[in-house]
Structure 1
Amino acid sequence: MRAISSAMGGQQSKNIQKGNYRFWSAVASAIRLGWIGIGEKQKEMKVTQLSLFPLLMCTAALQGDIVALEGHLQQGANAMMTANNGRTPLHLAAGEGDLDTVKFLLKKGADVNSRDKFKDPVLRDAVRCKSLELVEHLVSAGAHLETAGDELGREMCSLAYLNDMKQMEIWKAAGVHFNFADRNNRTPLHVAVCTNQPEMVLFCLKNGSDPQLRDCYNNTPIADARRLGFKHIEELLLIDQAKKAKAATLKAVEVKPLEQ
């Protein structure tokens, strides 16, 4: 692969060297591509290159080889070529958490919202690799999720159950808020309360969870805490509720004189 990458990255002269032509002829034969009988070495080499570019671009992106990527692009490749499963070089670089390669590909025209054949966007790969910096960069470049709310709610509820605060913060950076609910309308805060996780409860409240939201059984997180006898958690929720009520009152008082 290094030999192929090196040969394709180099500048191509109008006078095709016999050694280069033999190399590409051997590559074409090895992958059963075959020549197309044009009779022009320049064009025959180009056909082989274009057939291999998707693999070469994706391999270089996966390895973080920006020099090879630049070389392939100079020879006629583009940043949106896909290999297996419709995954672009940007998907692969994001999946590796490689911010430098991601920045390079975006500058070269890669679509920040491109999707693979499973409909997964580049941003989801960045979330999976748990890189907050990368997620923030993609979002600033225009990346967004178009996943159904209940699917994202289910993801957030699972993370709340696992007490994975770091990953929840990464999802938040990707545009997922803490009031997303699963199919039963249960939010991460509902899950944190019912699994008796005070730290996760505080974390959810800090990140905007609404303790007044009701699930499909008409239960709020406060009602769940009372039903389960988790008085320490009920107290946390009531304190948060009182703080928010006080803040709302103060805000109303500040606004009133301005209106008069």
Structure 2
Amino acid sequence: MLRAKGDDDIFRPIIIDGVVVRDKKFLQRLGKVLRLRWLHGKSVEIRKSLIDRIIPSFACRAVENNDFISLSVLLEKMDASCETYDKFTPLHTACELGNLEMINFLLSKGVSPYHKDRFGNCPMYMAIKNRQCHAVKLLSLEGVTVKLQTVRIAMEMIQALQNRDYPLLRAWFLSGVDMNAKDYNERTVMHEAVYLGDTSMIGRLLEYGATPLVRDVWGQTAMDNAQNDTMMALFEPFFAMHLSAV
């Protein structure tokens, strides 16, 4: 039997043979919240405000614990798109953790996959940022896209390349974004791969549909900046033929 350390953390589940159960303290706390007796004597406005703040936090924690039973009960009291003080929804949490069953469950409840938290991040972005490639692919198959400016997408992909963070770049690719997205200088992730001499990533980016023929603000393509024959060999014969025909 596994149990979270610390008496103050009553949200963590107890797991016996893979089954989530709850101790008495948690159930008493959850019961008080759901019965709402602690709100007696308070105005309607205060009641609604407190409920709107507390239940979403319980819902997100239920997602963290993969606790479908508690989450279902909580969602009977509030819309599935309920949000915490940071405007974080249960779907944000599910995507952050890459929990495919929970993502499907919340989508079936009508949760909007385009809801943004107070930092401007949608659930798909949370899956990408946390390199949850299976979750990204699932959302993409459901027709969900990333609601971010193209410039920001380009900058984040370039930064991922600079950090040699290949799983993050794969997550971006699986989300269906334009792999030729341009930053403020109209440079692409392919420009950066060539600049860094990262032949492994150049090959991978070509597989992802990126092209070395996009021009930056100085009129230079990634192919123009290719540093050696090894790089040029990666672009040939298709791109070399295409370039000569322009």
Q: Does 1:86 align with 2:90?
A: no
1:67 to 62, 69, 89: 69
Secondary structure of the structure 2 residue equivalent to 1:224? coil
Check conservation: 1:205, 1:240, Cα contact below 8 A: no
Q: 1:51, CA displacement in angstroms?
A: 6.0
Bigger fraction of residues in helix: 1
Structure 2: gaps spanning 5 or more residues: 1-9, 12-23
Q: Relative to structure 1, is the Cα distance of residues 104 and 6 closer, same or farther in structure 2, using a 3 angstrom cutoff?
A: farther
Aligned equivalent of 2:40: 35
Aligned equivalent of 1:236: 234
Q: Does 1:190 align with 2:211?
A: no
Structure 1: how far apart are the matches of 2:49 and 2:204?
56
Amino acid corresponding to residue 131 of structure 1 in structure 2: Q
Check conservation: 1:190, 1:220, Cα contact below 8 A: yes
Q: 1:47, CA displacement in angstroms?
A: 9.6
Check conservation: 1:194, 1:224, Cα contact below 8 A: yes
Structure 2: how far apart are the matches of 1:8 and 1:100?
26
Aligned equivalent of 2:5: none
Structure 2: how far apart are the matches of 1:140 and 1:5?
37
Is the deviation greater in 59-68 or in 46-55?
Answer: 46-55
Check conservation: 2:57, 2:84, Cα contact below 8 A: yes
Structure 1: how far apart are the matches of 2:241 and 2:50?
67
Q: Deviations over 1:153-185 (max 9, x none)?
A: 111122223333332221111121221121111
Structure 2: how far apart are the matches of 1:49 and 1:4?
20
Q: 1:111, CA displacement in angstroms?
A: 1.1
Superposition RMSD in Å: 3.1
Check conservation: 2:145, 2:175, Cα contact below 8 A: yes
Structure 1: gaps spanning 5 or more residues: 11-19, 29-33, 39-44, 249-260
Q: Does 1:218 align with 2:219?
A: yes
Aligned equivalent of 2:21: none
Structure 1: how far apart are the matches of 2:53 and 2:215?
55
Q: Relative to structure 1, is the Cα distance of residues 37 and 163 closer, same or farther in structure 2, using a 3 angstrom cutoff?
A: closer
How many residue pairs get aligned? The number is 220
Aligned equivalent of 1:6: 27
Q: 1:121, CA displacement in angstroms?
A: 0.6
Is the deviation greater in 182-191 or in 139-148?
Answer: 139-148
Q: 1:91, CA displacement in angstroms?
A: 0.7
